[in-house]
DNA sequence: CGCTTGACACCGT
DNA sequence: AACGGTGCCAAGC
């Protein structure tokens, strides 16, 4: 068969998954980790080493409970929060408000 | 040197 | 109090 859907590196798969997230939507590390079948820590690192916008909107990735988690950026984690709000996502005390409503249903 | 993988600690139930 | 899940780091090849 074809390989139109040939599986590339997990990392590449992760980026492909991440870029399919629409504007104003968010996802979680653990969810991605389960889908890609890797460690949730890896998810964050892949983002950290690829904070090149708009290639990878890692700012749309938050922890599983709605926390921002961490963020390696020349601006600071707070910048991520502001960026999130700019997308249309509300945050409170560094936590996403109703983030579950903005949760993007990733296709498995 | 850059990229990838894993275990431990913390929080919630 | 213990277990399960999450987490943007550090070490190894």
pLDDT of chain A, 108 residues: tens digit per residue: 654 555 567 888 888 888 889 999 999 999 999 888 889 999 999 998 887 776 788 899 999 988 998 888 877 888 888 989 999 999 888 889 988 888 888 876
pLDDT at position A108 is 66
pLDDT at position A49 is 86
Q: Which residues of A are catalytic?
A: 58
Q: How far is CA A60 from CA A11, A65, A74, A105, in A?
A: 17, 14, 17, 13
The C-alpha atoms of residue A1 and residue A15 are separated, in whole angstroms, by 24
> Residues A57, A18: contact at Cβ < 8 Å?
yes
Residue A1 (CA) to nucleotide C3 (C1'), in angstroms, measures 44
Closest nucleotide (C1' vs CA) to A68 is: C8
pLDDT at position A2 is 56
To 5 degrees, how large is the angle CA A102–CA A45–CA A23? 25
pLDDT at position A56 is 83
Among A41, A59, A63, residue whose Cα is nearest residue A50: A59
pTM of the model: 0.86
List strand C contacts in A 49-88 (CB < 7 A).
Answer: 58-59, 61-65, 67, 69-72, 80
pLDDT at position A50 is 82
């Amino acid at each position: 068969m074809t390989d139109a859907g040939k599986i590339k590196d997990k990392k590449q798969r992760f980026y492909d998954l991440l870029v399919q997230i629409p504007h104003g939507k968010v996802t979680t590390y653990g969810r991605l980790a389960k889908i890609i079948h890797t460690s949730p820590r890896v998810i964050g690192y892949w983002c950290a080493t690829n904070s090149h916008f708009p290639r990878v909107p890692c700012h749309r990735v938050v922890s599983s409970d709605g926390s921002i988690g961490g963020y390696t950026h020349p601006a600071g984690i707070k910048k991520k929060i502001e960026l999130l709000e700019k997308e249309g996502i509300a945050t409170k005390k560094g936590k996403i408000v109703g983030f579950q409503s903005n949760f993007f249903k990733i296709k498995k």
